Structure 1
């Protein structure tokens, strides 16, 4: 197995262990350090990055917590803060979703609207109105049904395999998907994606629609022409679907790319979001490089609280730092 594949496996295993460490979450949430981090976070913006609404009951509880302890803000308020210097209220939180999973419309929108909480949904424009699966879900299904491709080590979990595919140059990733389709025993199942009418329904209910590229490649792995097409074509499609141009963009996988930044500026985008698991500071961060925190509707209440405060992300980054240091020491032997 290649060193890159070993690195993928270690990083994935570390994150999966963090997801299982409920005892650590409880200890962090009840510690004096959590209180200090919470007070420190009051002056920053917590941008929550969800994907789907897998558990509507848990999501409702998270929204109730936000409504009671934080100040949910809109994309317009955030963009005014980063461009005009309009201050945000203490403990501001912006709710966002990546990919455009239909559960955001079916389950998320009613719960958000009931509480008057605004949100943003970043949509993969090329999937709108289709029944095509997300490519990472497709790859997991194909691998589970005997699919294989060159350059992808055997024995990886679906999450690690998706991460490994994301790290490939984009042309190679597309070729790997084609190989998986050719070798798997059965194709991935088709499924509903959001339609143009669904996007308009989201916006009518208070969920702003932003761009998440055309097909969701990692832009830093793409050539120049692909970057331009992924940003520009998605922008045109979403403008047609919505009746107005989107102003917000989320980088796939959170990977910033200077060429995309240039294209977004030219198209008039006012905000861009990473996925770096950190609190955001609109007063000092670049408008097209705002930080977001990784959460899901399955995030435990203890974990949710420490994520909002910035404590859990700090602990996670420390763990990754220790892992890197150990690898460097071992690599010198």
Structure 2
């Protein structure tokens, strides 16, 4: 077949030039807030408890700035579309029973979502991994089912809340794989998220989490050697975080390396 090598008219060249579309400008990098227990507790040596009234004011602060709290699953899905602007991930570690009675009504009032990370091998029990501090009741199996059915994302916080960087391989496998299988059986849903107990991780732990089928994992301050969706940083939020402190934490999130960067 003969090939026409003559120059096309200038207009035809212009017609075939690709249209360059600018990608939509992203807003500030998203961040993830880390909560634990929501109740009135005078004894709180580990600063893990926040009152429902304080949570209400914090979520009102978010909403007043055009932000909305969502699950980590929703946040990452929005980020994949370039639509994470205005979203803040809300996570609740350990799976305290007061999430259902105290936190969830406040979240619903502000039309916010969240991710709960229960210690799967302690469902219905207490936070007995703490050597001191008050004992708190944990969500039970039926509670987890209710939350999942209500659209709350449920992820794993391991089986027994051990520092996974210090356990042998067989225990690591049980804590990561076993909790994933048990939680999937309880909820009847795909379990996407994992939360490292005490926020500690290393290459071996990350490999185990990936092999178990988790799509993301939450840490606290994973450091420069741990990045990506299997080492998401978070910002601790407590009872002392009034509006000025929240604003400071929001502004310093990127400087601290606590933002969920665009993929």
Counterpart check, 1:89 vs 2:84: yes
After superposition, the C-alpha distances for 1:25-52 in whole angstroms (9 at most, x for unaligned) are: xxxxxxxxxxxxxxxx942111000111
The CA deviation at 1:234 is: 1.0
Counterpart check, 1:292 vs 2:234: yes
Q: Structure 2 matches for 1:175-190, cutoff 5 A?
A: none
Q: Which residue of 2 aligns with 1:134?
A: 128
Equivalent residues of 1:48, 1:96 under 8 A apart? yes
Counterpart check, 1:80 vs 2:77: yes
The CA deviation at 1:226 is: 1.3
The CA deviation at 1:204 is: 3.0
Q: Which residue of 2 aligns with 1:112?
A: 107
Distance 1:313 1:140 in 2: 33
Q: 1:225 to 1:277 in 2, by over 3 A?
A: closer
Q: SS of the counterpart of 1:129? A: coil
After superposition, the C-alpha distances for 1:102-136 in whole angstroms (9 at most, x for unaligned) are: 11111001111122201001110011123x33311
* Structure 1: segments with no counterpart, 5+ residues: 1-40, 142-187, 279-283, 315-333
Q: 1:53 to 1:286 in 2, by over 3 A?
A: same
Equivalent residues of 1:71, 1:90 under 8 A apart? no
2:243 pairs with 301, 306, 313, which one? Answer: 301
1:124 pairs with 119, 126, 135, which one? Answer: 119
Aligned residues: 217
Question: TM-score by structure 2 length?
Answer: 0.74
Q: Which residue of 2 aligns with 1:59?
A: 55
Q: Structure 2 matches for 1:227-238, cutoff 5 A?
A: 227-238=172-183
RMSD, aligned α-carbons: 2.6
The CA deviation at 1:71 is: 3.4
- Kindly indicate which of the two structures has a greater share of residues assigned to helix: 1
Distance 2:137 2:52 in 1: 19
Q: SS of the counterpart of 1:135? A: coil
Equivalent residues of 2:29, 2:254 under 8 A apart? no
Q: 1:269 to 1:254 in 2, by over 3 A?
A: same
Q: Which residue of 2 aligns with 1:222?
A: 167
Q: Structure 2 matches for 1:1-333, cutoff 5 A?
A: 42-54=27-39, 55-69=51-65, 70-81=67-78, 85-130=80-125, 132-136=126-130, 139-140=131-132, 192-276=137-221, 285-310=227-252, 314=256
Q: Higher Cα Rg: structure 1 or 2?
A: 2
Structure number with greater CO (CA < 8 Å, separation at least 6) is 1
* Structure 2: segments with no counterpart, 5+ residues: 1-25, 40-50, 257-263
Q: Which moved more, 1:67-76 or 1:88-97?
A: 67-76
Distance 2:163 2:36 in 1: 17
Q: Which residue of 2 aligns with 1:149?
A: none
The CA deviation at 1:207 is: 2.1
Q: SS of the counterpart of 2:238? A: coil
